[in-house]
Amino acid sequence: MIELIPAIDIINGECVRLSQGDYNKKSTYFKDPLEIAKQYEDVGIKRLHVVDLDGAKCSTPKNLAVLERIRSNTSLDIQYGGGIKSSAALSSVFSSGANRAICGSIAVKSPELFREWLTEFGSDKIILGADIKDGFVSTNGWLENSTTSVYELIDSFLDSGLTQVICTDISKDGMLQGPTFDLYEEMQSRYDGINVTISGGISSMADIERLNNMNLRSVIIGKAIYEGHIKLEDLREWLQRG
């Protein structure tokens, strides 16, 4: 069954959600992200998706103290992204407790360094973050657009052992209108050896059921939980089915 990965997006140490990546369209849900992280663990969630939105915007991790608290107080497998644009930043993320690092902008702007990280740390620890708008990759907290397509980006790292990609459709993110099903089906079909994680637009358990029936492997859920469209008990029941 498809793996469910709840998201915690952080600004100033608080759990928030943006709409379509717009920092001016922010909703705050938990002052202490550890509170909801523990609730996820309690229902049986194994992996947590943590995004440092401050870090993504200013190009260096800014909420490592939150990461450290979640690591110290839960047994969750934590994947962390936002501002990882140097080897020092990557090391700080791992030393603060992340099991996996999500790297997006660096893969577009310094692909050789990203390849070095894949080789040094292994594809089980390094995730390619492909955030797209109209089919092209966006960087720096979605504030800059590139001319690189998502397929060009993935193709460029296949010979470096890439096995994990998180693809976020920015136009869908935080809108609760459902994901771009055709995009993810095509991506997973094209890259059978890669775990393509769906991100952006999940609005209900029906969306998850549909993705599962399409044989997709993992999905990130954010605003749908915080707005009550998907309840913690729904997550528990799904995990018990699996």
Is pLDDT above 80 for 142? no
Per-residue pLDDT at 10 = 97
Least confident among 79-93, 127-141, 191-205: 127-141
Mean pLDDT, all residues of the chain: 95
Domain containing residue 28: CATH number:
3.20.20.70
**pLDDT, tens only, 13-52:** 999 988 877 888 889 999 999 999 999 999 999 999 999 9
77 is catalytic: no
Is pLDDT above 70 for 163? yes
Is pLDDT above 80 for 155? yes
Q: If we measure between CA atoms, which residue out of 93, 35, 86, 25 comes closest to residue 63?
A: 93
Q: Which tokens go with 202? A: 């999940």
Per-residue pLDDT at 21 = 75
Q: At what angle do helices 64-73 and 87-95 cross, to 10 degrees?
A: 30
Q: If we measure between CA atoms, which residue out of 226, 195, 15, 201 comes closest to residue 100?
A: 195
pTM of this structure: 0.94
Per-residue pLDDT at 216 = 96
Binned at pLDDT 50, 70 and 90, residue 224 comes out as: very high
Query: Mean pLDDT over residues 92-107, rounded?
Result: 97
Domain tally, the chain: 1
Domain holding 127, by residue range, is 3-241
Is pLDDT above 70 for 131? yes
Catalytic residue, chosen from 22, 32, 54, 131, is 131
22 is catalytic: no
Per-residue pLDDT at 24 = 86
Which has more confidence, 135 or 166?
A: 166
Binned at pLDDT 50, 70 and 90, residue 141 comes out as: low
Per-residue pLDDT at 125 = 98
Binned at pLDDT 50, 70 and 90, residue 145 comes out as: confident
Q: If we measure between CA atoms, which residue out of 35, 106, 87, 44 comes closest to residue 239?
A: 44
Per-residue pLDDT at 209 = 98
